[in-house]
Structure 1
Amino acid sequence: MCCLKKMNKEYVFRRKQMIKKMVPKSAFIIFSAEEKIRNADNKYKYRQDSNFFYLTGFNEPKSLLILVKQIKYNKCILFNQNTNELKKIWGENNIGQESAIKLLKIDYSYSWNNINNKLYLILNNLDTIYYQFGINDKNDKLLFMAINILRKKKIINKNFSPPNNFSDLIPVLQKIRLIKSKEEICKIKHACFVTKLAHIRAIKYCKPEKYEYELAAEIQHEFLINGNLDNSYNIIVGSGINTCILHYIENKRKMKSGELVLIDAGCEYKNYASDVTRTIPVNGKFSKEQLVIYNVVLEMLNLFIKLCKPKSKIKNIKNKVIHLLVKRLKHIGLLSGNIKDLIYQKSYKKYFMHKLFHFIGLDVHDTSDYLINNKNFYLKSGMTIAIEPGIYIPINKKIKSPYQGIGIRIEDNILITKKGNINLTKDIVRKSIEIENLMKKNK
């Protein structure tokens, strides 16, 4: 709850933005995330739904936000859990209704226990409901129950009328979330700062014969010692052939001299994520073959960053970076043929199979749906993105290549500004000579 008093004006502004997108006589409905059971009666640490958090800053489960737009007025309503002194002993410190109204700056707060008695009354005589069906069956059922109550009551009482139109405003909310506020940027910057400390710690600690999980432990240590921060995703520490497994999370192999190790790790600060990858030589020295591939990936990253500025079309940036990739792969003998044909045929996909970038924010892969459906998308000031080129060359007995078994990804987090961009993770060593020098100091 610590951020609410400082940021409640911003959450109020976001809710007003959503209401502007709604038609009169409508309601926007969004539930909190459910608690997740690990096993038996053991729960995972709670993580709020990102869209719900964006509009409320509220981190409690069993909550429901309703924005109501009428012709002459608007209402912001919250259902949340009651305060309970007994539950506080067991770690459930719910703020209740009175505090919710004060802290969240909402109009009304009702007990979650009264949702069946209140929800249908709130929806009565509205025409349109904005709600994302199919995410949670329990929540869908609660909404359908309220609508069915209104349908039955309408038969005997003309004062009751259910909504008949249903739509989804989540894509609109995702678009709003693309542009980060100053407060959001501060949180992402801090997440990147702690991630920097974690990566540098792991790089310094890396030596042959250590296990991948030992590097993961060093990263986790830095996240915990800097405020008990959560991972923004499962830590990836893959050495040797594991560098070619994109989402390798077993982290249990012993690292060998002469191999590379790929470290992909980021943390969350007040729900905002960082996402950083570095690939380093286990023994502190890149081989000739490793360096060739590493420099291609770094060149791709630097080109993408250089082209990142407001009004730049993502499609154009990607085309230039892919052209560079294909040109370099052809030069080192991993591809052959006409460059245009290779790009058209997507021949590079056997070595680079994922996306070049994604947004970061409340989700490590933030609001990506909007981009997927918009080929003419261009960058704007306030956007935060993770750029992650890579080359992965798995071992193939049918192909003779000195680069087999090499997997390299380098990933930085970028803030788009009015004049260009800021690399939020530039202080995590990237150049091969910088990595080697850092590792040499700690042998």
Structure 2
Amino acid sequence: MTVVAPAVSACIERRARLAARMEPGAVAVLATAPETLRNGDSDYPYRHDSYFYYLSGFAEPESVLVLVAPLGEQPARSILFCREKNPEREIWDGYRYGPEAARIAFGFDEAWPIGELDAQMAKILANVPALYYALGHSAALDAQVSGWLKAVRAQGRSGVAAPASAHHLPGILDEMRLLKDAGEQSLMGRAASIAAGAHARAMRFTRPGVFEYEIEAELLHEFRRNGAQFPAYTPIVAAGSNACVLHYNQNNSQCREGELVLVDAGCELDGYASDITRTWPVNGRFSAPQKTLYELVLQAQEAAFAAIVPGPPYSGMHEAAVRVLAAGMLDLGLIDRNKYGSPEDAIADKAHLQFYMHGTGHWLGMDVHDVGPYRDMTQPDRPSRPLLAGMALTVEPGIYVRPAEGVPEEYWNIGIRIEDDVIVTADGCRVLSGDAPKGVAEIEQLMEKH
């Protein structure tokens, strides 16, 4: 399946930034993902490695990127190893760039056939001070690196030295990927718009008697119809009590009158993910208890949005959402008011975790749970890191009420989550997925027309 590359200039600029962060003269090696057998002679649909694609824009398997950091007057070099042109295989598998065409199309300084990797690396690593790669990420790559270093060390009597140190490459790339440039933000906005349309389509389709997998089919149809190459993850379509299972994805139950259906589904467009959750009534009308809980979650999300601004810690949005949810749980009798005099008391005792047991969001980007630490690892106490303009994240408060003693029965088996994709801006946040219907009246009006 063809994946459109990001702007070549963006990839060239990223490679230059990475090279500048490396030790002068050092070498970085980054392999893309392997093809994976599904069963028999059938592979899973191929999906590139996100780190590799971020720096290269190149989506073919059997590819390796090598970067040489600048040293003195010697400029940085980018080298691609990829499959050779093969007219016979292209009849069966489709177009291959081949080294020379890939070098030109993707802005590399050099390109070699992948079969030359071992021989060339023994030369490239000679007399360089350090090697950067994903330490321990792939046993196959670790073995290759070991072989390259052994080949370099074998030249020791000729005065050739192997790299004296190795560094974990993803640690640098995680920080780079955490801030999205304008092109990435635009692409993520398009992915969110497609997913929002899919949620609206699924709402219009839903009615008592349909199966969860039928709703899933509507989502997947809308993703692909609008150019998204894949779902960003296995969709969750959870009706009734299934919505109280956070990672439910069997999607095989029938939707019944009076239930809610929770749908967590996003698409991947040109390597970037969207991630949206909406919850709506199967019959198109919220019952009073459903509406009460739904609007509580909606208020919690609005509180989280208000906490997203450059400077304050990432954890602030979760804390804001939890305060609203805990107050609502007390007011509705989900948490015992006689035991806890305030939301703060309930939160301190973790009483809210019975009904809200996950975080309020995560980084979003090339991976649906994108890379980057959530804490400032440079500080001894590792506090939550401050938000910065250009970060992309989800905001997804929820409430999940399982049958339990002391819990009002009218709320049993109601699971609600509302999730949107946002970009941190200079003065707040921009919601990318706002086209997905969310208000009670908006959802009911949409479903009433169909």
TM range (shorter): over 0.9
Q: 1:405 aligns with which of 406, 410, 413?
A: 413
Q: What does residue range 277-292 of structure 1 map to in structure 2 within 5 Å?
A: 277-292=277-292
The answer as to whether partners of 2:228 and 2:270 remain within 8 angstroms in 1 is no
Q: What does residue range 15-26 of structure 1 map to in structure 2 within 5 Å?
A: 15-26=15-26
Q: Is 1:75 paired with 2:77? A: yes
SS at match of 2:192: helix
The answer as to whether partners of 1:237 and 1:263 remain within 8 angstroms in 2 is yes
Q: CA deviation at 1:2?
A: 7.3
Q: 1:350 aligns with which of 351, 354, 368?
A: 354
SS at match of 2:166: strand
The answer as to whether partners of 2:50 and 2:367 remain within 8 angstroms in 1 is yes
Larger mean CA deviation between 393-402 and 338-347 belongs to 393-402
The separation in 2 between residues aligned to 1:224 and 1:325, in whole angstroms, is 36
Partner of 2:99: 97
Partner amino acid, structure 2, of 1:348: H
Q: CA deviation at 1:421?
A: 2.0
Q: 1:433 aligns with which of 441, 444, 447?
A: 441
Unaligned residue ranges in structure 2 (runs of 5+): none
The answer as to whether partners of 2:130 and 2:167 remain within 8 angstroms in 1 is yes
TM-score (norm 1): 0.95
Q: CA deviation at 1:216?
A: 0.5
Partner of 1:365: 369
Larger mean CA deviation between 211-220 and 176-185 belongs to 176-185
Unaligned residue ranges in structure 1 (runs of 5+): none
The answer as to whether partners of 1:195 and 1:265 remain within 8 angstroms in 2 is yes
Q: CA deviation at 1:289?
A: 1.2
Q: CA deviation at 1:429?
A: 1.2
Partner of 1:206: 206
Q: Is 1:196 paired with 2:196? A: yes
Tell me the matched-pair count. Answer: 439
SS at match of 2:410: coil
Larger mean CA deviation between 183-192 and 415-424 belongs to 415-424
The separation in 2 between residues aligned to 1:145 and 1:369, in whole angstroms, is 32
The separation in 1 between residues aligned to 2:94 and 2:143, in whole angstroms, is 26
Q: Is 1:235 paired with 2:235? A: yes
The separation in 2 between residues aligned to 1:3 and 1:402, in whole angstroms, is 49
The answer as to whether partners of 2:403 and 2:409 remain within 8 angstroms in 1 is no
Q: Deviations over 1:259-283 (max 9, x none)?
A: 1100111111111111000000111
The separation in 2 between residues aligned to 1:363 and 1:9, in whole angstroms, is 22
Q: Is 1:273 paired with 2:273? A: yes
Runs (4+) off by over 6 Å: none
Partner amino acid, structure 1, of 2:137: I
Q: Deviations over 1:266-321 (max 9, x none)?
A: 11111111100000011111111111211111111111112222223223332222
The separation in 2 between residues aligned to 1:306 and 1:273, in whole angstroms, is 24
SS at match of 1:358: coil
Q: Is 1:394 paired with 2:402? A: yes
Partner amino acid, structure 2, of 1:234: T
The separation in 1 between residues aligned to 2:347 and 2:121, in whole angstroms, is 54
TM-score (norm 2): 0.94
Partner of 1:244: 244
The answer as to whether partners of 1:313 and 1:378 remain within 8 angstroms in 2 is yes
Q: Deviations over 1:214-244 (max 9, x none)?
A: 1111111111211253100111100011001
Partner amino acid, structure 2, of 1:257: E
The separation in 2 between residues aligned to 1:275 and 1:348, in whole angstroms, is 25
Q: What does residue range 279-358 of structure 1 map to in structure 2 within 5 Å?
A: 279-336=279-336, 337-338=340-341, 339-358=343-362
Q: What does residue range 26-37 of structure 1 map to in structure 2 within 5 Å?
A: 26-37=26-37
The answer as to whether partners of 1:358 and 1:368 remain within 8 angstroms in 2 is no
Partner of 1:126: 128
The separation in 2 between residues aligned to 1:151 and 1:395, in whole angstroms, is 65
Q: CA deviation at 1:400?
A: 5.1
The separation in 2 between residues aligned to 1:371 and 1:120, in whole angstroms, is 38
Q: CA deviation at 1:364?
A: 0.8
Partner of 1:144: 146
SS at match of 1:65: strand
CA separation of 1:230 and 1:14: change in aligned 2, threshold 3 A: same
Q: CA deviation at 1:389?
A: 0.5
Q: What does residue range 164-183 of structure 1 map to in structure 2 within 5 Å?
A: 164-183=164-183
Q: CA deviation at 1:153?
A: 2.5
The separation in 1 between residues aligned to 2:350 and 2:53, in whole angstroms, is 39
